[in-house]
Structure 1
């Protein structure tokens, strides 16, 4: 499968998915520190990190939907749909936590919010598994994807200085 959204031959969606995942994990760490008795501003940092992650997740979802058009109708399509649904569920849980916190004066985290975020990150772990499975399925059609020649797109030549 060839993605429609590519940068120098590489699909964009697998690159983008790292941003919301990393931001969601960071938001959860900030919230964990806030709940554990850390400085109160960390709860607000966790909130705004979650908001940034939601914007990154929206961009990733758009790229995922564009890529879904080209997925063959077989087990790969089911895996791709499950991958997108799991990631949407993770983002949805974080959206709920952000909406709950939006109206509080300090936007600090609570134990219930932290528990919801941990459930969302568990779903994100399933998404990572499904994403890795998709990449293995897409790479199975390529020849020798593990060699350095596959990265270079051909043979590697070394220029030697002339005597």
Structure 2
């Protein structure tokens, strides 16, 4: 196995999650869920009178998503630092990182503008901005999936994965690096 590929599978620190189970993919569910819910509330605000409670809820969901996004970004950065510059996985991860940073900054600006009432007279603009940001996030998520499922970044080796499918394994079996795993 290539050295850079092996490095990409191993955490640099325990904060990134254990081998074969990174924390970044878990953390991204917070901003994705919060920001998708904010879109639902913004669309609802177009049809409900008075829309104040839905607008306020969307604003706070964006704040929750922003905080979760900062956490996810920090964890993703730990995974990114395991990649070697020049590898195709590094290039994809760099684009993934830039898109996510862009989205995170834009949601932060959206929260600021909403919190201070700048979007009060433009409810349709909030929906448009939500859709555009979620579309960019979707492209970035596609690239994140490519990193995990195509390039195997922070995914256990095939030898380790095989343990989940081999019924003959009833005793601990070493992985290629001498660690013992029990199925």
The TM-score bracket by the shorter chain reads 0.7 to 0.9
- Aligned twin of 1:42: 54
- Per-residue CA deviations over 1:2-25 (Å, capped at 9, x if unaligned) read 123114741111111111111110
* Alpha-carbon offset, residue 106 of structure 1: 9.9
1:35-66 Cα offsets, whole Å, 9 max, x none, are 23354301100100000000000011111112
1:82 aligns with 2:95: yes
Once the two structures are superposed, residues 78-135 of structure 1 have per-residue CA deviations (whole angstroms, 9 ceiling, x without a partner) of: 1111111111122222122111111129968711121111100000110110011000
Counterpart-to-counterpart distance in 2, 1:40 and 1:25: 18
TM-score (norm 1): 0.81
What TM-score does the superposition give when structure 2 sets the normalisation length?
0.73
Structure 2 gaps, min length 5: 1-7, 172-183
* CA distance in structure 2 between the aligned counterparts of 1:64 and 1:106, rounded to whole angstroms: 31
Unaligned runs of 5+ in 1: 158-163
State the Cα RMSD in Å. 2.9
Q: 1:146–1:109: structure 2 CA closer, same or farther, 3 Å change rule? A: farther
State the SS of the aligned residue for 1:138: coil
Contact 1:91/1:120 (CA < 8 Å) preserved in 2? no
Map 1:76-155; keep pairs closer than 5 Å.
Answer: 76-104=89-117, 110-136=123-149, 137-138=151-152, 142-143=157-158, 149-150=163-164, 155=169
Alpha carbons 1:26, 1:49 under 8 Å: kept: yes
